[in-house]
Amino acid sequence: MSDAAEQYILGIDIGASRTAFGLVSWDGKIFYPEIIQSKVEGALLIDRLLSVSEKILGRAEAERKEVLGIGIGSPGIVNSQEGIVIAAGNLPELFGARLKDIFEQKFQLPVSVENDVNADAVGEMVFGVAKGQRHFVVFSLGTDLGGGIVIDGRLYRGADFIAAEFGHLTLDLGGKRCVCGGYGCAREYISGAGLAERGREELPGESLALKMVGGDREKLTSKEIFQAWQKGDPDATRLVDEFGKRFGALVSNVMKVLDPELVILAGGVCRAVPEMVNLVVRWTRHYYFPIPKLPEFCLSRFTKEDSVLGPVAVFMVERRSDQSACSPKKNK
């Protein structure tokens, strides 16, 4: 077997909007990065996942790169033991998909499958801002809101792989029905799609954010709302204050359950808004116990391209624990 540094893992991070691919070396360098749209009219996502993977693995083979396996991150509830997506509200095509079996049969390589934000949490521990941290949580804010929990240096999945569904904690007792079957879920307010929806419903016609999209409410995204807020627009400020309050209340609730030492804010929406940490800390302080010390808050440094590091880290951690389980003499 060759040197570990010359071994590679194919990482696939399936997102609600975009899916990233990359071949990752053991020390975290990404080769052949590729990003595709997750939803394409008339084309099945799983078929496209397989064909892009085949292309990247073909390149690796041509350049004599030794590939150890494939790590996949998927939105929704994922049975990571069997590699099955149990539910995925944003990508119904993945409901019940046996991704581990499908990829193992096609490529004859070992495959790990994990919830995308759980994978992000492991990625932060191996390659990111949580190196050396034992107790931390990840709030990943993109189109949707996801969560990840690490307790005592290990990913916490719960009894049925449902843990850390922060986006589906109830924030509004009289709220709307959610895709998950619950009501008033946090993601209706704290997510890119949720904030945009609030903007469509509540912004007056002459407000700055709507002007940015030519007055077309359907085109409004969270991006324009945050940009208008950064310029001091009062209508956007009302929306973002409400967003910050709810986000702070949610983070504070999670902190009261888990008492983390670090809170990581990740995902495309947090990346685009550098003020997010201050906004969340301000409102978390408001709702949390009045003690002087809060955990550390920081932004993830991972971009969409880097998101493949999460599922790759999951594969690496599983492989390490497999190896230690097979060769007990290596353990003290």
- Which stretches of the chain bind Zn ion, using CB under 5 A? 168, 178, 180, 182, 185
Rg (CA), the chain: 20
Nearer to Zn ion, 127 or 166 (CB): 166
Instruction: Report the 10 Å Cβ neighbour count for 318.
Output: 17
Least distance in Å: CB of 297 to Zn ion?
25
Nearer to Zn ion, 157 or 168 (CB): 168
Least distance in Å: CB of 179 to Zn ion?
6
Least distance in Å: CB of 161 to Zn ion?
16
Question: CB–CB of 205/162 below 8 Å?
Answer: no
Instruction: Report the 10 Å Cβ neighbour count for 112.
Output: 25
What three-state secondary structure class fits 171?
coil
CB under 8 Å to 227, separation ≥6 — which residues? 209, 212
CB under 8 Å to 141, separation ≥6 — which residues? 190, 191, 192, 265, 266, 267, 268, 269, 270, 276
Nearer to Zn ion, 100 or 168 (CB): 168
Least distance in Å: CB of 175 to Zn ion?
9
Residue of 265, 251, 140, 243 whose CA lies nearest to 194: 243
Q: CA–CA separation, 236 vs 164, rounded Å?
A: 29
Nearer to Zn ion, 11 or 167 (CB): 167
Nearer to Zn ion, 86 or 180 (CB): 180
Residue type, 98: R
DSSP states of 273-310? -TTHHHHHHHHHHHHS-S-SPPPEEEE----TGGGGHH
Least distance in Å: CB of 137 to Zn ion?
18
Nearer to Zn ion, 127 or 247 (CB): 247
Nearer to Zn ion, 35 or 178 (CB): 178
Q: For the purposes of burial, counting CB atoms within 10 Å of the CB of 179, is it exposed (0-12), middle (13-18) or buried (19 or more)?
A: middle
Nearer to Zn ion, 22 or 142 (CB): 142
Half-sphere exposure of 262 (CA within 13 A, CB side): 25
Least distance in Å: CB of 173 to Zn ion?
14
Least distance in Å: CB of 114 to Zn ion?
20
CB under 8 Å to 104, separation ≥6 — which residues? 110, 111
Least distance in Å: CB of 182 to Zn ion?
4
Least distance in Å: CB of 117 to Zn ion?
15
Nearer to Zn ion, 46 or 86 (CB): 86
Q: CA–CA separation, 312 vs 318, rounded Å?
A: 10
